[in-house]
A = this chain, B = another copy of it.
Amino acid sequence: MKPGIPQGTRDFNATIIKKRRFILDTIRSVFELYGFEPLETPSFENIETLMGKYGEEGDRLIFKILNNGLDNEAKREKATAAFDDILAGKTNRGITERALRYDLTIPFARFVAMNHGALVMPYKRYQMQNVWRADRPQKGRYREFFQCDADVVGTTSPFLEVEFANIYAAVFNKLKLPVQINVNSRSILSALAEGCGVENPGDITISIDKLDKIGLPRVLDELLGKGLSQEKISLIEKYLNVSGGVQQRIAALNKLLNAESSKKGIGDVATFFDYLGAENAENNNVVFDQALARGLDYYTGLIFEVKVPALSLGSIGGGGRYDNLTALFGVKGIPGSGISFGVDRIYDAMEELQLFPLDLSAGSAALFMNLGEVESKAAFAVMQQVRNAGVSAEIYFENVKLEKQFKYATKKNIHFAVLIGANEIKEQKAVLKDLRLGEQKEHPFAELAKVLSES
C-alpha cells in the first residue's frame, strides 16, 4: 500500500512548526499580557451544537463522525432509517451524533451558555485550536487549519474594541508585519441600507464587501442589477467615496445619512477613536473604513478587519461586536465582542516578506562526533554535562566516516561539532569546530557548556 494523506491536510515538519510556533507564541503572549485566559474545547461537539449555526452551506461543510458500533444488531435498524435522512441531506443521530469543530465561536458560545453561572464576568477568553471544514481544497485553503480567537463577554464597555485594536497592533508590531486595521460599524451600514430603502442591509453589504476585489464601477453595476434606483446608487457611490481622516469622514457621513438612524453607529466610531487616541491610531495604522462590511451575520456593532497593504492576500484578521451569541443555546443577555487571527495567511505574509527570524531554523547547538566505542562513551558523558547546563546537543549514534557525520550536522543546521578522540580523553579537552566559519579551538571538557551557551 502506497501511503498518502487526505486532500486538504498537511504534515508539518520542524521548520514549519517552528515558524508557526513563533506566530502562535507571539499571539498567545499578547493575549495573556492583556489579561485574557485560555480555553480549550473538545475537537468534536454534539452534532446539534453545530448544525444550523453556519447557514446551509456551513451545514454541508461540517465534518460529521460516523457512530461507532453500527455493526451492533440493536443499532442496525436505527442506522438504516437514519441513512435515508443522510441521503436527503439531513442529520440523524442514528448514524452520526458528533461533528468536528467548524470554528471557535460556536463552541465558545456553547461553553459560556453551559458555565455562565460559574464564570467570572466579564469573561475574557482566548482560544487557539484547529478547526475542520470540508471545503474544496485550493491554494491557501485547507480542510484542517488553525484559528486564534479572543473574546470578551458580559460587558458593553467601549474599551473592548480599543483593547482589540491594541492587541492587533501589539501582535503585528512584534511580528514586524506592517498592517492596516480597518474599523467600521454595522449600524452605519444599516443606516445606509435604510437610506436606500432596502430592508435587509446584507443585500447591499454583500456587494460593498467586494469593493477591494472588483472596484467601484462593478460594485455599482451589481447594485443596479439588484434593482436599486439611480438615486440610491448615487447615494451609495457618495458613501463609498467618503475619504479623509476620521473627523472628515464622520462629518461627511453625518450629512449623507439620516441623523437618527446613523447616530449610534457614528457615535460608536467616534467614541472608539476618542478612546484609542489620535497618536495611537496614526502609529498603528488604525483607520475608519465605512466600506468595511464583514460577512458574518451575528455582528451588531463595531467591526474590524486587518490587512497587509503590501500584499494582495485578503484579510489576516477580523472580528466585531455581537449582542446575543449565547441565545443560540438558550442563554440571553450576554453581549460581547471578539477578534480572530488568520494564522495560515499570517504565515504566508511573513514568508513572502521574509520576516521570520533566521535563528528559528537553527538545530541543536552541538553535535558530538562518534569516533569509536570508547571515544563515543566519553563524548556522551561530556554531552550530558552540556545538556544539564541547558545547551541542546546530540551525539552521532554510529561510528561512521566523519564526512557523513559532518553532513548530518550541516543538514540539521547544527552550529558546532565536538570532537573527542583518544588524545582529547587523555587531556580532558574537546576540539570545538565552528561549522559555519570552519574554525576550530580546544576547550577543557568542563568549559564546553559555557563556551557553547555563549556562542
Contacts and interface: CB of A to CB of B under 8 A. Distances in A.
Interface in A379-429: 380-381, 384, 387, 390-395, 397-398, 408, 411-412
Interface stretch (A110-118, A302-310, A439-447): A110-118
A86 B66 contact: yes
The CB with the most chain B CB atoms within 10 A, among A98, A130, A408, is that of: A98
A17 B44 contact: no
A69 interface: yes
A437 interface: no
B87 A394 contact: no
A63 B65 contact: yes
B2 A330 contact: yes
Given A1-B330, A11-B39, A17-B38, A71 B88 contact: yes
A3 B329 CA distance: 6
Contact of A9 (B42, B63, B97, B391): B42
A80 B87 contact: yes
Contacts of A203: none
Given A6-B42, A35-B364, 19 more contacts: A1-B48, A1-B329, A4-B114, A5-B45, A6-B97, A9-B42, A10-B42, A14-B37, A14-B125, A17-B38, A33-B393, A63-B66, A63-B98, A64-B66, A79-B86, A120-B411, A159-B376, A166-B384, A170-B387
Say what secondary structure dominates the interface of chain A: mixed
Given A2-B330, A3-B113, A79-B87, A162 B380 contact: yes
A87 B98 contact: no
Given A45-B5, A397-B155, A39 B13 contact: yes
Contact of A65 (B65, B79, B125, B411): B65
Nearest to A9: B42
B4 A43 contact: no
What 3 pairs across the A-B complex have the smallest Cβ distances? A35-B394, A71-B89, A9-B42
Contacts of A380: 159, 162, 275
Contacts of A43: 9, 43, 100, 130, 132, 144
A345 interface: no
A347 to B, nearest CB: 14
